Structure 1
């Protein structure tokens, strides 16, 4: 609202703020309806590029070398004092320091904790298929690095104006009305009309991307998803987007921004207990994966048999849909059925199911062996249409992979060209590893949900 007031003299009233919230909700609804890969992703990328452009503008319009020196200096101060500052409770300081701790450190801890359910689930949704290393880099280190540079460049630019150029009112604004500070700072740089518009657009789009991702998470929370790679129905996304807008308006009318912030922070205390439970769950899940890896090392298995020329054919195979269909019909389906029947004859509960995915003529096949309370053995084959690599000679631009998935995810294994005996051999090898895994885990291991049948990141469906 202040940005519009600054540029167009739009009054800062409750009515205007309600209209702005309604506009944000409409745009967020359009974004969430289009999905993660289109609306949400495109808006987020646009906003980050715009923020990067604004930061570089301030950097190169100011004393660039001094600002870069201060970025390095600030980063060093942060890293060297991180542990000491984390344990500093101001126990021997005066009441002013204690009050600052409550309204800054403790408040922002609560603020961040309150955001963890939504942000954590949304990050998990968009990070499916990534390794933990990639997730930590993309969700922690890269954003942290960007924010450190952003805060250093803008913060030091403001400090320079207040401390060395006598712009005392900028410091007073930062204390009394922080929402106006950035606009006042940009007045001391060229093209203030353009940069003020950029800041306003950034604020609007940041609100939109927060609302649309929140609506998506809530919609997924309140629906039963038949496929973990799909999101909730559109009507639920629209509903939760509207609910977010109504709650925001209600809290704004009840007490303005302070009421909105207080309501968010109050939810943080009970959820902090849940975070500790999540930590324990994460430790158990990683320990479970370690047992699985140990089982795979102990039973290495053997390469599929056959003449070496046949194996070379499989390595260079770029089967079309007809070839993949023939492999399913003559090798994979009979092998799964025969293996399940053999297990049934030995007193185990095994079944083979097929699922037809919308838009895909070839079926997903899954063999599942039940072990009661312990993790079931799952062996799933999913067809995926992929772009043919440039380094493999082929007549078509696309080919079909028959990818293997276990309960813990994809195995980077394509069954195209396998005979029935070779498929059974692979089934036996994976089944042996699963039995060894259950033995190492004490027979009580539980599978992580939602990890079966995930398409490769570059799959062209």
Structure 2
């Protein structure tokens, strides 16, 4: 077996039947169980979350730290000059569009949901020390930076780099199975490959669904604030249906016309909102604390990154926060990895890793400082000065986490207009996340086809909406967290194997370059050693094909 077989399955014209059927059956069983046995589902979700997070939380921590170490090694290693494609190839997308799509795929709704609420939550209930103090404020920013910082983007970067390398450099399909070729060989086209891709589909589905669920909760909070719309499960399910239809429309427009344009629009609105908060907020404090927050984060990154609560006597805080985040990002990593690999052709490994690691976190850290840091500072100032009235941000977080950003905007001019912009941004993030994830899942279930049929994309977009509705009905935020943690665990194992496989592939790549005594610096050598001809008996046996079994 030396190829990936795809064929017609009912209304779906091009699918890898083992991956598609297994994924669809598992997801359908999950939907039926959650919809028909609502109370039992909530109990099962919580028990599964507790078991995985308490028993294997250390493993999640080890995996994300390994990806960061590996990323730093790649930057300074001899592999940094290897290009993802022909050695003289230029990037497919310009830097601005690349950053926009990278940022949209990698963070999305979570930024708006947690950007204000998370620092406030850690400030009022820190895992260590006394609450609502200066020390608690610094700790809150350190933890927020940890959860959205270097570890996250190193994780995304390693998965994306593995996919991009084996696809563009070696000529394998753009699928998770391809990253394990140096270890499994042709077995990736059989049961092992089907299993790995199915795990990626399952993880992607529930990682994205968690984000969609958070987005709907916050949209509902915004609509309640602006227009008095009831905040309940009925409204949330209606919102899921409406926005899933928007995602379907975007999917039919394709990567360049749909997803790329939405990503560019998201970045534009993000810059507008961030600039507004900096200009009309405590500007001097934001820039001062931004510099200090980065220093504190870098100083604490090793102890915080390896902290396991082993001496605290209980592990409830970390399982609800750090372990949840690591599992969430791991479950997102197949989706983000495939998507980022898809848009990164032509970049060198060093350029790729530096861009993925540094560009998004600079924007994220400034965002968390401007929104969350400013909110925490308001509460600190009100507590220190009896003449100041508390802005009520802590109470807002306690009542409804998603409402924190809308409450913060009450301290700014043009409150209603800005809150409406925030709701629009959440909808756009929602649509971008949904259509990007549907595109990626369809690629995985069609054997790595980079342009899968649109009808299949629509099917997966609808499935995401249905699962988000089921999880919200079966326990809200707690059920969403449970789904992320449980689905992320098996793929964490795959990531460890993937990094080892990447090192094997890169070492053989360098060996071939050394043998040929050239770096593909001319047009002729680039054509002669194109990605589809880049082979060696010590590396791979040659690029496989996606074969349509209908032919």
Same structural fold, with TM-score higher than 0.5 when normalized by the shorter chain: yes
Aligned to 1:211: 434
Higher strand share: 1
> Aligned pair in 2 of structure 1 residues 213, 281: CA closer, same or farther (>3 Å)?
same
Shift of 1:140: 2.5
Task: Give, in whole Å, the separation in 2 of the partners of 1:299 and 1:197.
Answer: 53
Name the SS of the counterpart of 2:527 in structure 1.
Answer: strand
Task: Give, in whole Å, the separation in 2 of the partners of 1:260 and 1:177.
Answer: 16
1:88 to 293, 300, 307: 307
1:146 to 355, 363, 366: 363
Aligned to 1:68: 287
Aligned to 2:462: 242
Shift of 1:52: 1.5
1:219 touches 1:237 (CA, 8 Å); kept in 2?
yes
2:324 touches 2:481 (CA, 8 Å); kept in 1?
no
Shift of 1:69: 0.7
2:520 touches 2:529 (CA, 8 Å); kept in 1?
no
Determine if the alignment matches structure 1 residue 16 to structure 2 residue 245: no
Aligned to 1:232: 452
1:407 touches 1:447 (CA, 8 Å); kept in 2?
no
> Aligned pair in 2 of structure 1 residues 298, 159: CA closer, same or farther (>3 Å)?
closer
Task: Give, in whole Å, the separation in 2 of the partners of 1:4 and 1:151.
Answer: 23
Shift of 1:66: 2.0
Determine if the alignment matches structure 1 residue 34 to structure 2 residue 253: yes
Aligned to 1:444: 538
Aligned to 1:352: none
Larger RCO: 1 or 2 (CA < 8 Å, sep 6+): 2
Name the SS of the counterpart of 1:73 in structure 2.
Answer: helix
Shift of 1:181: 0.5
2:513 touches 2:519 (CA, 8 Å); kept in 1?
no
2:509 touches 2:539 (CA, 8 Å); kept in 1?
no
Shift of 1:150: 0.6
Task: Give, in whole Å, the separation in 2 of the partners of 1:147 and 1:302.
Answer: 40
Task: Give, in whole Å, the separation in 1 of the partners of 2:528 and 2:346.
Answer: 12
Which range moved further: 247-256 or 19-28?
247-256
Q: How many residue pairs align between the two structures?
A: 321
Aligned to 2:90: none
2:244 touches 2:462 (CA, 8 Å); kept in 1?
yes
Superposition map of 1:50-65 within 5 A: 50-65=269-284
Superposition map of 1:14-413 within 5 A: 14-93=233-312, 95=314, 98-165=315-382, 166-167=389-390, 169-224=392-447, 230-297=450-517, 404=527, 406-408=529-531
> Aligned pair in 2 of structure 1 residues 37, 302: CA closer, same or farther (>3 Å)?
closer
TM-score (norm 2): 0.54
Deviations 1:205-233 (A, max 9, x none): 111111001100111112246xx6x4101
Aligned to 1:427: none
Higher helix share: 2
Shift of 1:135: 2.2
Task: Give, in whole Å, the separation in 2 of the partners of 1:302 and 1:104.
Answer: 51
Shift of 1:289: 1.8
2:471 touches 2:480 (CA, 8 Å); kept in 1?
yes
Shift of 1:449: 5.0
2:505 touches 2:539 (CA, 8 Å); kept in 1?
no
| CA RMSD, 1 decimal | 2.8
Shift of 1:407: 4.7
Task: Give, in whole Å, the separation in 1 of the partners of 2:502 and 2:374.
Answer: 41
| Structure possessing the higher radius of gyration over alpha carbons | 1
Shift of 1:260: 2.4
1:114 touches 1:267 (CA, 8 Å); kept in 2?
yes
Task: Give, in whole Å, the separation in 1 of the partners of 2:341 and 2:359.
Answer: 16
Task: Give, in whole Å, the separation in 1 of the partners of 2:543 and 2:362.
Answer: 32
Which range moved further: 32-41 or 245-254?
245-254
TM-score (norm 1): 0.64
